[in-house]
Each structure stands twice: as C-alpha cells, then as structure tokens.
Amino acid sequence: MTRNSFTPGVPRRALALPLAGIAAGALASPAIAQGAPLRLGLMLPFSGTFASLGENIAQAVELHLNERGGRMGGRPVQVIRLDDESNPANAVANVNRLLGRDRVEAVIGTVHSGVVMALVQASRERGVPLIIPNAGNAAATRELCAPTIFRTSFTNWQPAYGMGLALGRQGVKRAAWITWDYAAGNEAGEGFRDGLRASGGEVVRELKLPFPETNFQPLLAQIPGLNVEAVGSFFAGGGAVQFVREYAAAGLRDRVPLCGSGFLTEGTLAAQGAAAEGIRTALHYGDGLDTPKNRAFRSGFRERTNRDADVYAVQGYDAAQLLGIGLDATRGDPTAEQPLARAMRAARIDSPRGAFTLSPSHNPVQTIYLREARGGLNQVIGVAAEALADPGTGCRMA
Ligand code: PHB
C-alpha cells in the first residue's frame, strides 16, 4: 500500500486511522521488501532570486546521501528534483506533479514561505513525509503542525527575535524594519519586534515592498527622516545582494547601522563586497564555528561544489540526516507514520551548526548566533539567544 494511490484532496487521516499502532515494517510493501529505490522529491527553487539557496540545499542533501552510500533504511534513494521557482502561483501544480507524475514517497522542500504551504497541505492530506529545509512559515509548525511535517531550519520568528534581542541589549531604543511584504518578511518583523521589546526597544516604522521586487529607492529615501538608531531587515538571495549594495550606495551604511535575520548576508558576501562589511545579523549558523562536525561538513561541501557552505547547505544536510534517521527506524518504509515520526521526533541531530533537538511541534530548538560580516565571512561574535524554541502556538499534534 502506498500513499500515492490516495485520491488527491481526500483527507488521508480518515483513511489511515485503522493503521495506527501497527509495528514498523509489518505492512512493508513487496517493493520495499525487495529494496526498490525510494523516490525522494526535492522541491526547491533552482531559478529566480532564491536559485542559489535551492542549489545549496540540494547539493548538501546529496552530500549526505553519498556519505550513507546512497541508501536510507536499506533502500537505495533516487532523488527527483523539481524547480518551484519560488512562485506561489504554481505551487499546488508543482506539488501534484511531484506526488502524482513523479510518485515520490517523501519530500524535502522548500525555500519560500508561500510555496511551502502547498507542501504542508499535501503532507497533511496525503501523509507523505515532509521535511522543510528552509521556509520559515510559522504555520507549518504552529497551527498546521502534523505528525508527518518536520523542519530542520527555523521559523521566521527565531533568528529575527535573536537580532532584536541583541540590538536592545546594545542600547537601541528606536528601530525601523524593512522587508519584502510576504509571510517570511512579516513574521521575521514580528520576531524582531518581540526581541527588541524584550530588551527595551521599539520598532517605530515598517517599510515594505512586494516579493521579489527590488525597487528599494523609495523606501531607502525615507530612512534618514525616521529618527531611528538602527534598521532591521529580512532579505535573502539575489534581493539581499542588491539591497545591501544600495543601502551603502545611498550613504546610509555609516549613518544608520543595518542589521537583520542572518539571511541578509548569507551566501551573498562575495557579491556584496565592501557594502556588507560590519553588518551584524543573527542566525543559527556562522562561518567560523570551529567544531569537528562543521569542519568536516565544510570541507566535504567544498570538495563537492567548489563553493563554501552556508546555512542553506547546513539545513539541507540536516534534512537528509533527519530523514535517514526516520527511514532507518522503519526499514525504509515512509508510510509507517507513527514509528517514523517517533524516531524523527526523538532525534538529536549532529548538525554543523551544533547539535539540536526538535520541539514538540517539530521545529529546531537552537542557538541563535550574533554574527558580524568581516572580510567576506559571517564571523560569530556572540550568542544572541541560547536554545531558542519557536513558541509553537496553536500546534495540536493529532
Ligand atoms: C522564506 O520564504 O521563508 C525564506 C526565504 C529565504 C530565506 C529565509 C526564509 O533565506
């Protein structure tokens, strides 16, 4: 029995309930028993402003797969890539393509907080295991949490909360927030506001433009008149490169310090050059983390891609680690929902960012580092928040 035979749109939970409690492997299909390849879908952006993020995630998934000899739970893994272009308008069609035409049995995806909602819905309805290797949309591990949905990245709230907290501790009382007007930018804005408030400051103004537009000039022109001591931001990928350059070119860099969720300077420093020097950000990863795991990971990633690893690569690597733990526990059966979830929920992931566990709503509980861009690296200069969990508000795990 495979989940792919379920009628799309029919709530799978009703169909699957009688299976609850049956031991892992007891229902393993003949295909699984014969070691048929496990079809793993990677739904990620391979084009558009987040293309480099998707590529690093995919490369790191494959890096870990190679380390495991290409197998999980005893089955060879066949990776099927699908480019979602970070386009929410095509998200449902892309998910149906992956689950229907491509018959994938588990999915790692995606980057964009709007696009991921189609994957979340499919996982809830059809029971296909989903591991989110980036998109920080809070709903996925709050009110829409489910036994089949896991995340190895963050909620948008987490890094931004750390940044706000660190800024307030530095004595900043008044800040502005600038971002793309979509779930990631707005939820990060809430985190920034909550963190800043908790340490004595306030966000006095929010400036926004539609995703993925880059017409920053009208917003930048307002900043000198706001009477703020700092500007916090969420941008990523190609948009972040352009934003940081234009912020400096507008002469703002030395007048109103720019900071943000760490994506602002993640995987982008080479292209941002001197414009990024000195920018402080908060994130669950930093370039200089000097641990054996991080050193080995970075050298493996560099050998494979000829590029330096970044947080996206780390999250992809950890998504593959987590899926491997789940499938090893079910002898390669991704439909064994309860044992799979139990094993993944209990996992302690030996991540390049530092070991982490998952909260009850399946989101990482993790250290948020304070970093400063120096000489082309995001150097860790402190800890913004230790063992930070997302509140997980509204998550009722069935
Ligand atoms: C998101 O849409 O959730 C998102 C995209 C890019 C990032 C971080 C979050 O770097």
**Ramachandran category for residue 254: left, alpha or beta (phi over 0 → left; psi -120 to 50 → alpha):** alpha
Interatomic CA distance for residues 258 and 252, integer angstroms: 8
Name the CATH architecture for the domain at 2-154+290-358: 3-Layer(aba) Sandwich (3.40)
Q: What is the pLDDT of residues 140-185, one digit of tens each?
A: 999 999 999 999 999 999 999 999 999 999 999 999 999 999 999 9
Interatomic CA distance for residues 201 and 209, integer angstroms: 24
Q: What is the pLDDT of residues 205-254, one digit of tens each?
A: 999 999 999 999 999 999 999 999 999 999 999 999 999 999 999 999 99
Which pLDDT score, from 0 to 100, does residue 288 have? 87
Q: How far is CA 203 from the centre of its chain?
A: 25
Distance 50 CA to ligand 1 centre (A): 8
Which pLDDT score, from 0 to 100, does residue 204 have? 98
Nearest to 319 by CA among 84, 40, 2: 40
Which pLDDT score, from 0 to 100, does residue 25 have? 41
Task: Give, in order, the Cα–Cα distances in Å from 112 to each of 6, 132, 133, 251, 381.
Answer: 27, 10, 10, 31, 28
Question: Is the per-residue pLDDT at 27 higher than 70?
Answer: no
Q: Supply the mean pLDDT for the chain.
A: 93
* Best residue for ligand 1 mutational test, from 154, 263, 310 (most atoms within 8 Å of Cβ): 263
Q: What is the pLDDT of residues 339-364, one digit of tens each?
A: 999 999 999 999 999 999 999 999 99
How much helix, strand and coil, in percent to the nearest 5, is found in the chain?
40, 20, 40
Nearest CA to ligand 1 atom 6: 236
Q: How far is CA 126 from the centre of its chain?
A: 22
Which pLDDT score, from 0 to 100, does residue 310 have? 98
Structure tokens at 208: 């926004």
Greater confidence (284 vs 21) lies with 284
DSSP codes of every residue in 218-287: HHHTTGGGG--SEEEEE--HHHHHHHHHHHHHTT-TTTS-EEEEGGGGTTTHHHHGGGGTT-EEEES--T
Where in the chain does DSSP place strands (E)?
A: 38-44, 71-72, 75-83, 106-109, 130-132, 149-151, 174-180, 202-209, 230-234, 258-261, 280-283, 357-358, 364-374, 377-388
**Ligand 1 binding pocket, CB closer than 6 Å:** 50, 111-113, 134-137, 156, 184, 236, 263
Identify the DSSP state of 25. T
Q: What is the pLDDT of residues 85-129, one digit of tens each?
A: 999 999 999 999 999 999 999 999 999 999 999 999 999 999 999
pTM strictly above 0.85: yes
pLDDT band at 3 (very low <50, low <70, confident <90, very high): very low
The answer to whether 2-154+290-358 and 157-283+370-388 have equal CATH topology is yes
For residue 237, the ligand 1 atom closest to its alpha carbon is 10
Distance 92 CA to ligand 1 centre (A): 19
Q: Are 287 and 377 in contact (CB under 8 A)?
A: yes
For domain 157-283+370-388, the question of CATH label 1.10.645.10 is answered with no
**Is the previous residue joined to 391 through a cis bond, with omega within 30 degrees of 0?**
no
Summarize the confidence of residues 7-18 as an average pLDDT: 33
Structure tokens at 72: 């999980």
Question: Is the per-residue pLDDT at 29 higher than 90?
Answer: no
Task: Identify the H or E element spanning 140.
Answer: none
Q: Are 43 and 94 in contact (CB under 8 A)?
A: yes
**Ranges of each domain in the chain:** 2-154+290-358, 157-283+370-388
Nearest to 195 by CA among 156, 173, 165, 170: 165
Q: Are 379 and 372 in contact (CB under 8 A)?
A: yes
